[in-house]
Amino acid sequence: MTLEQVAMAANIDDAASVRMSQYQRGVHAPKFSIAQNLAKALNVPVEFLYTPDDQTAELLLIWHALSKAKRGQLLKSLQEPL
């Protein structure tokens, strides 16, 4: 998906490709509501857009793909003493 296509899918209209490029380069940060639209357009959780590293991003994608029951099981297993 091109930046322009993502912008269109996220309902970012005026100077979309310029604005998207600025977001990508970190020149400007989108408002949270725009970040939500971007996440929806990219089919990722909004937290994914704010994560500081690739491993955390990968964990977020895995987490959001799990059912509520599986999330509960995973949390329970992580809270058990080592």
Reference 38, options 65, 16, 69; nearest CA is 16
Hey, what long-range contacts does 28-36 have (CB within 8 A, 24 or more apart)? Answer: 34/10
Q: Which amino acid is at 52?
A: P
Q: Could you tell me the pTM of the whole model?
A: 0.72
List Cα–Cα distances, 32 to 27, 36, 39, 43, 65, in angstroms: 16, 6, 10, 16, 22
Give me the pLDDT at residue 43, please: 93
Q: For residue range 35-57, what is the model confidence (pLDDT) as tens digits?
A: 999 999 899 999 999 998 999 99
Higher pLDDT, 7 or 14: 7
